[in-house]
Structure 1
Amino acid sequence: MSTTTPSALKRSNVVISGTSGLNTQTMVFLDCLGGEQSMWRLLVPAFEEQYRVVVVELIGMGNSDLTAYGRAAHSTLEGHASDLLKVMSELALHDAVFVGHSAGALIGVLAAVREPQRFAKMVLVSPSPRYIDEQDCAGNFEHKDINELLAAMDGDYNGWSQAFAPVVAGTDEHPEMVMELTNSFVRTNPEIARHFARVSFFSDSRAALPFFTIPTLIVQSANDVIAPLAVGHYINEQLADSRMVVVETGGHCPHLSAPQKTLSAMDKFLHHETAR
């Protein structure tokens, strides 16, 4: 008996909202490790009157099709970029605004290098092309730091989730955010989370940056131990057409800890000419 392969939209648990119309521009949101649709809830409503909003989950995260996750197919961020492009192809998207967080931001960059016609503008929230500290890109980790993080995930995934969530939140002002992130990590399949963490934290997307020409906004938290300011400045210097906005908040998720400031930066970028 033959089986039907689920569509890219079903595999990535795509949710579409907002305005529909022949000339309506689409805005695509993509999160990262432990990400769920709800992570964008503080931004999405602000764009639904003007855009068709498409929220995509990484395969393996949230309510995506876990059976579609493969260690070989998703052994690099390029594999996830292919998933994103399949979604955009199925929706026949061109000249879309892309908003990506953390590793999701770099997945968007890789996708845009391959098929730039699908993207008009990019918003990269807390991006990092390389998490390991090296001479030309000041990541915030040594190899041993990442190995220790991965060992903690392997040894006690729930314990790691409870310890890592406050690092991602980066603030004592929003305990509910720490709880939300903890629960999101815990709900993620541990085997997939461990594999994706290895792929993400050891990834190196620096070579793609010189080929990336889409107008871009980099949204950077003022105090982020995962993607520090130096990394944001590095990306801004490498891109041909970008600007960087530092949001006065802590942690790796300014779209959750400072949504109004993030929205303000996005609004200025989307409605004005990009300037370095």
Structure 2
Amino acid sequence: MDVFLRNNIKITGRTDKPLIVFAHGYGCDQNMWRFVAPAFEDDFQVLTFDHVGSGKSDVSAYDFEKYDSLSGYALDIIEFLEVLNAKEVIFIGHSVSAMIGALVAVERPGLLGKLIMVGPSPCYINDADYYGGFDKEDIVEMIETLEQNYLGWASHITPVITGRPDKPEIAEELENSFCQNKPDIAKHFAKVTFTGDNRGDLPKIKASTLIIQCDPDIIAPKKVGEYVHEQIPNSVLKIIPSPGHCPHLTSPEQTIKVIKSFLA
């Protein structure tokens, strides 16, 4: 299988420079990085892609067993990076892709030189002394709702995710992105995303890591970002004082500035 077609891989920028990979979040595609990725093309080789089942990826490659955990997505990334013979990659992952990037870093130490996590959450469900932002009952109810009425759920949740009532066009774009994906795949990916628990993987990450945290963020609250920072040994936490869960869409200039400062 051609992994470049499978993941709809696009490469721009400088081929003689380090590789920087932008990975999109749940329900999205690589187009969500359009305000940020071009700012790095003068100094990096820039790769954007779609997770299998999202965007313009090869949907026929979606295997419900393989993608029943985030490890399946991590294996895809490892595969195409190895095809490129890439080393010391800079990986930027939004939301669920932050955890997918964490798994890549753990599975292939040294493959990622730097890991940048935008709005990460290793576990959305509150547990004993851990605060994930949601009670288990909330997640169960959400999954039941999206199974019964995925399009209605998408319409309700996207303004919550963006957190910017002053920018309704961003919520509308996100809703359209959610609705372009096949409902059965989108529902499955949602279950994997919101019921997963990758807390145990965080201390194993050796790559230099930047955590970008919006404040406030209902989906991945500040307390979650602080937890991720505490658990990853070589990490830096940067707060963007902007509401919502998608700073690359709602606050791209701040996002670019924070990333470039870290890479410098």
Under a length normalisation based on structure 2, what TM-score does the superposition of the two structures give? 0.98
- 1:80-102 per-residue CA deviation (whole Å, 9 max, x = no partner) reads 11111111111111011100001
- 1:222-269 per-residue CA deviation (whole Å, 9 max, x = no partner) reads 011110000000010011111111111111111111111111111110
Equivalent residue number for residue 3 of structure 1: none
Contact 2:28 2:54 in 1 (8 A): yes
> How far apart are 1:199 and its partner, in Å?
0.7
Q: Does the residue aligned with 1:243 lie in a helix, a strand or coil? A: strand
Paired amino acid for 2:228: I
> How far apart are 1:137 and its partner, in Å?
2.6
Equivalent residue number for residue 180 of structure 1: 173
- 1:4-41 per-residue CA deviation (whole Å, 9 max, x = no partner) reads xx2111111111111112xx100001112111121000
> How far apart are 1:156 and its partner, in Å?
1.3
Q: 2:227 aligns with which of 230, 234, 241?
A: 234
Aligned pair 1:254/2:247, yes or no? yes
Under a length normalisation based on structure 1, what TM-score does the superposition of the two structures give? 0.94
Equivalent residue number for residue 7 of structure 2: 12
Contact 1:162 1:182 in 2 (8 A): yes
> How far apart are 1:113 and its partner, in Å?
0.6
Q: Distance in 1 between matches of 2:193 and 2:13?
A: 31
Q: How does 1:181-196 map to 2 (within 5 A)?
A: 181-196=174-189
Contact 2:118 2:211 in 1 (8 A): yes
Equivalent residue number for residue 95 of structure 2: 102
Q: 5+ residue gaps in structure 1? A: 1-5, 272-276
Identity among equivalent positions (%) equals 38
Q: List structure 1 segments (4+ residues) > 2 angstroms apart after TM superposition.
A: none
> How far apart are 1:57 and its partner, in Å?
1.2
Aligned residues: 264
Q: Distance in 1 between matches of 2:152 and 2:237?
A: 35
Paired amino acid for 2:130: C
> How far apart are 1:135 and its partner, in Å?
2.6
CA RMSD, Structure 1 to Structure 2 (Å): 0.9
- 1:164-199 per-residue CA deviation (whole Å, 9 max, x = no partner) reads 110111111211101100100010111001001101
Q: 5+ residue gaps in structure 2? A: none
Q: Does the residue aligned with 2:46 lie in a helix, a strand or coil? A: strand
Contact 1:109 1:212 in 2 (8 A): yes
Q: 2:144 aligns with which of 151, 161, 166?
A: 151
Contact 1:221 1:249 in 2 (8 A): yes
Paired amino acid for 1:130: C
Paired amino acid for 2:142: L
